[in-house]
């Protein structure tokens, strides 16, 4: 008798666990669908913010960064607030900033979809110091990879996440 009660209680707990697991999977699927929609809309309108988690340098390896670094697309403007570690081949004259910190108008913007769940944007900008090519790859999940090449500095890349509002 006692064994039957214990079995019934365990079966009830298992059933509740399965139901809770299904609800969690459904919530995850809904959250992912909402994120995909928001990311697609952000790319289409060229209005997105990517918060940076880590950077990968040519000479110094991979580094975690503080959470205040970001990259923003605002229509026809690129707003870059990114750290930089590497060699500059030509020293910037009278530079007011350290790192890749600037707002600049976009000179060229090319968007493609090389894979089903991946969008790629190539953004060219020019500042008083240098010319840059930002290759931004955004997955439908909101994860993002950014590669920055310039004429006068070593390349650097970043990993981050699109901020969905």
The DSSP annotation for the chain comes to -HHHHHHHHHHHHHHHHHHHHHHHHHHHHHHHHHHHHHHHHHHHHTEEEEEEEEEEETTTEEEE--TT-EEEEETTEEEEEE---S-BSSPPTT---SSEEEEEEEEEEEEEEEETTEEEEEEEEE-SS-EEEEEEEEETTSEEEEEEEESSB--EEEEEEEPP-
Sign of CA dihedral 122, 78, 136, 97: positive
How far apart, in Å, are the Cα atoms of 79 and each of 26, 59, 75, 88? 36, 25, 10, 21
Q: Pick from 113, 136, 114: which is nearest to 123 by CA?
A: 136
Q: What gap in Å lies between CA 119 and CA 113, rounded to an integer?
A: 5
Q: Which domains does the chain have, with CATH numbers?
A: 38-162 (2.40.128.410)
Stated pTM of the model: 0.80
Say what the pLDDT of residue 52 is.
Answer: 96
Say what the pLDDT of residue 15 is.
Answer: 63
Say what the pLDDT of residue 62 is.
Answer: 87
What is the C-alpha end-to-end distance of the chain, expressed in Å? 56
Q: What gap in Å lies between CA 122 and CA 108, rounded to an integer?
A: 8
Residue-wise pLDDT tens for the chain (165 aa)?
567 676 776 676 666 666 655 557 888 888 888 888 888 898 889 999 999 999 998 888 888 988 899 999 999 999 999 998 877 777 666 555 578 899 999 999 999 999 989 999 999 999 888 899 999 999 999 999 999 999 888 899 999 999 976
Residue pair 156/148 in contact (Cβ under 8 Å)? The answer is yes
């Amino acid at each position: 008798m006692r064994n039957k009660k214990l079995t019934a209680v365990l079966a009830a707990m298992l059933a509740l666990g399965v139901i809770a697991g299904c609800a969690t999977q459904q919530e995850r699927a809904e959250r992912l669908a909402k994120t995909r929609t928001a990311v697609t809309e952000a790319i289409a309108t060229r209005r997105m913010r990517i918060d940076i988690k880590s950077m990968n340098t040519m000479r110094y390896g991979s580094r975690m960064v503080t959470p205040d670094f970001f990259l923003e697309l605002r229509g026809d403007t690129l707003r870059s607030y990114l750290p930089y570690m590497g060699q500059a081949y030509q020293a910037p004259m009278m530079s007011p900033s350290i790192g890749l910190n600037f707002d600049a108008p976009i000179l060229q913007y090319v968007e493609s979809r090389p894979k089903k769940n991946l969008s790629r944007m190539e953004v060219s900008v020019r500042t008083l110091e240098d010319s840059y090519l930002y290759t931004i790859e955004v997955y439908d999940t909101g994860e993002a990879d950014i590669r920055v090449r310039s004429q006068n500095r070593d390349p650097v890349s970043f990993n981050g996440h699109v901020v969905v509002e």
